[in-house]
A and B are shown apart, each in its own frame.
Chain A
């Protein structure tokens, strides 16, 4: 009989031994493996144009305008619906994207390398708040910002990262995550401390590698104004850390949780390449002024990779202020973390929570435990408006749909326990 406990132990050890380092940047089309010329990557499991929700469609239109594949939104929509563009999950290319998560060939991406297994992961630069591509906006303002990020932000950051790397001081993302957890961040919905630490770490290298003071000032001001900048880096670090744990015979360790705005999907280490999906949850969260529950788009984004790693909502006990989003008390934040211990393989050895006597965060979602106990993982997430381009309408705690985990558990039993 398959030894599920040993298989999961192996998976966990791989994740815990990861060392995700920020080693460089590049253009998506040049560095992301198997990125086709007319291909757009997106968050979540595979999905066709017709089934996509507003924010994802909007982001795709925006990306096509940015690439110059279409000159008007109407033209872009026509091309997309006719199948002239190839769509593929970021996850199929060792990449991740927050919210709509659209990556196009010209977009600059961070390259994160897991030095323990030498695997890489890729992610774009976070655009900031307001009207942004990842929420489905595609106005000129959005395109202009994307171009600025390509022409100004990217070269400055790239030079700084390279300088750090070349002087043997490559930025250690895992280290930043561990520190940020002790400063009130949970690394999904709250990245303020991590962003601050990142800016502090890279700042000297940005200055030293810069010969354009104006550009440098713009970049620094941009990083300062965006509390979520680190999210993308954290996601790539998580992807690079967890990916080596996939493909272990008999393991029920969840290696991907992701949403595309229509479906929620997971992958499990010992169950091959299959996505196990269910309709994405519609988050019930605290809404910003002027928005109603009908405005809320179903859950979207690859950022669930943070909970897959063992932070985000799993580390809510380290970021109690967030629980106000659902009308709770700090004890509720603690309870969410405590609940997640009941469905994970073990505890983290580097990410820990001071309030729980420095107990390691719950790490390694066990799809069998989820199905057995009826407890599905919680996510701590931003919420998009249904219509493309309106933006974020709220944030809070979301319960992932258990059907996806039940499907995977049934598949596991069929594959490994059939008599």
Chain B
């Protein structure tokens, strides 16, 4: 069902990376938020452990 909703409602976007894409979506009147992304300060194995921990509780 989720894909059906995406196609019916249109994209409501979290843009992670190239800022130009954010501006282009705004030009098309799409709802979009741009993430000023930077890599985590943690090594990837630690990061995935922590993310699993978060999945356990609601956040």
Assess whether B42 is interfacial by the CB under 8 Å rule: yes
Assess whether B3 is interfacial by the CB under 8 Å rule: no
Contact A374 B56 (CB under 8 A): no
Please name the residue on chain B nearest to A406 by beta carbon: B41
Task: Evaluate whether A368 and B40 lie within 8 angstroms (CB atoms) in the complex, with A4-B57, A5-B59, A6-B57 already known.
Answer: no
Do most interface residues of chain A lie in helix, strand or loop, or is the interface mixed? helix
Please name the residue on chain B nearest to A375 by beta carbon: B38
Please name the residue on chain B nearest to A405 by beta carbon: B41
Assess whether B6 is interfacial by the CB under 8 Å rule: no
Task: Evaluate whether A374 and B41 lie within 8 angstroms (CB atoms) in the complex, with A1-B53, A409-B46, A413-B50 already known.
Answer: yes
Contact A417 B40 (CB under 8 A): no
Task: Evaluate whether A5 and B57 lie within 8 angstroms (CB atoms) in the complex, with A368-B50, A413-B49, A413-B50 already known.
Answer: yes
Assess whether A37 is interfacial by the CB under 8 Å rule: no
Enumerate chain B residues within 8 angstroms of A167, measured Cβ to Cβ.
none
Assess whether A410 is interfacial by the CB under 8 Å rule: yes
A-B contact count (CB 8 A): 49
Assess whether B10 is interfacial by the CB under 8 Å rule: no
Assess whether B58 is interfacial by the CB under 8 Å rule: yes
Please name the residue on chain A nearest to B42 by beta carbon: A371
C-alpha gap A389/B30 in the complex (Å): 58
Please name the residue on chain A nearest to B56 by beta carbon: A1
Q: Mark B19-59, 1 if CB is under 8 A from A, else 0.
A: 00000000000000000001111100011011101101111
**Which residues of B does A touch, CB under 8 Å?**
38-42, 46-47, 49-51, 53-54, 56-59
A-B contact pairs, 21 of them (CB 8 A): A1-B53, A2-B53, A3-B57, A5-B57, A6-B57, A370-B41, A371-B46, A371-B50, A372-B41, A372-B47, A372-B50, A374-B39, A374-B40, A374-B41, A406-B41, A409-B41, A409-B42, A410-B46, A413-B46, A413-B49, A417-B53
Known: A5-B58, A417-B53; 6 extra A-B contacts, CB below 8 A, are A4-B54, A4-B57, A402-B41, A405-B41, A409-B50, A413-B46
